[in-house]
Amino acid sequence: MCSLERARVLSQAHELYSVATVQGEQLAQVTGRLRFLDELPAVGDWVSLTPTDPPLITAIEPRTSCFTRTSPGGGRQILAANIDVAFLVCGLDADFNPNRLDRYLVQARQSGARPVVVLNKADLRPELPRLALDVPVAAVSALTGDLAALHHHVQPGETAALFGSSGVGKSTIVNRLLGADRQAIGVTPGRHVTTSRQLIPLPAGWWLLDMPGLRELALDATAGAVHQAFAEISSDQCRYRDCRHEDEPGCAVRDHVDPARLASYRKLRREQAYAERKDDPVAARAEKERWKKIHKAMRKPG
């Protein structure tokens, strides 16, 4: 019986996986058993590999973190596995979108990775926007090569991933960190240059996952992840413990937080609750009963 080798998935193309081993980079396939179990590797996974030709991936190690999204056709799509730091990249140009950043932050919280907001193109905006976030924020400029702030958040041996929409400068950041023009760079915002997920070992001693720009990040998160991403919005002082800060009486939040942040919270919370009810009839009935109690309380005098 042949001994198995530990390897890490660097990228995937169709049914072939590029994996890093002690012998170097190799192409591998998955066994029929994994296909039967519908358990396929994701970029970032640690796997067991047979020393055959071609090598076969026989098992996937338990993941320490998992960045996912809801697939357009339903179900869950794994975007990356075993990520220690999620760099949420925003461009400080006309494409800067705080609501999009909130969505990425919720998903990063859900994944189990440490989120860090990266404000790229800082050379274009002397005054940085004020963000009501309880996570680290790093201002960088990939154009000028000022990326020192990123290294403060990743330790040698750890894995970081770049998440963000197309055009925010992720590929330029990768090239600067590598010291070589490995990734293609585009000049048109909204046009995808990186087309597949690629895990890259860096000279600094940590791994970097370059993600394609996501046109849509359908939320795949729990209510707890949404609440955690909006730490300044709490139900502790509200009349109802599960207050959504919408039409409930006795809400202590609506008039005391930034309206834009509250609107973003409400949107993501509604999306998360809808997805939860769609998959869980019990949750749907509980939501219906909750609103019955609220409407009944609103009809009471005083």
Report the relative pairing of strands 114-120 and 85-91 from DSSP bridges: parallel
Is residue 215 over pLDDT 70?
no
- Averaged pLDDT, 213-230: 73
User: 66-210: which CATH topology?
Assistant: Rossmann fold (3.40.50)
Is residue 170 over pLDDT 70?
yes
Q: pLDDT by residue (tens digit) across 189-212? A: 444 444 578 999 999 999 999 887
Distance CA 62, CA 45 (A): 9
Residues in the chain: 302
Radius of gyration of the chain from its Cα atoms, rounded to whole angstroms: 22
Q: Which residues pair with 5 in a beta bridge?
A: 49
Is residue 106 over pLDDT 80?
yes
User: 5-60: which CATH topology?
Assistant: OB fold (Dihydrolipoamide Acetyltransferase, E2P) (2.40.50)
Helix (H, G, I), strand (E, B) or coil at 80: strand
Common-topology check for domains 5-60 and 66-210: no
Per-residue pLDDT at 103? 87
Q: pLDDT by residue (tens digit) across 29-77? A: 999 888 887 789 999 999 999 988 889 999 999 999 999 887 766 677 8
- Domain limits of the chain? 5-60, 66-210, 232-299
Cβ pair 119, 101 in contact under 8 A: no
What's the mean pLDDT when you consider all of the chain?
82
Give the pLDDT band (50/70/90) at residue 188: very low
Q: For residue 34, which of 48, 24, 20 has the smallest C-alpha distance?
A: 48
Per-residue pLDDT at 191? 44
Per-residue pLDDT at 74? 65
Per-residue pLDDT at 251? 81
Distance of CA 107 to the CA centre of its chain: 5
Burial of residue 86, with CB atoms counted within 10 A of its CB: 0-12 exposed, 13-18 middle, 19 or more buried: buried
Distance CA 70, CA 281 (A): 19
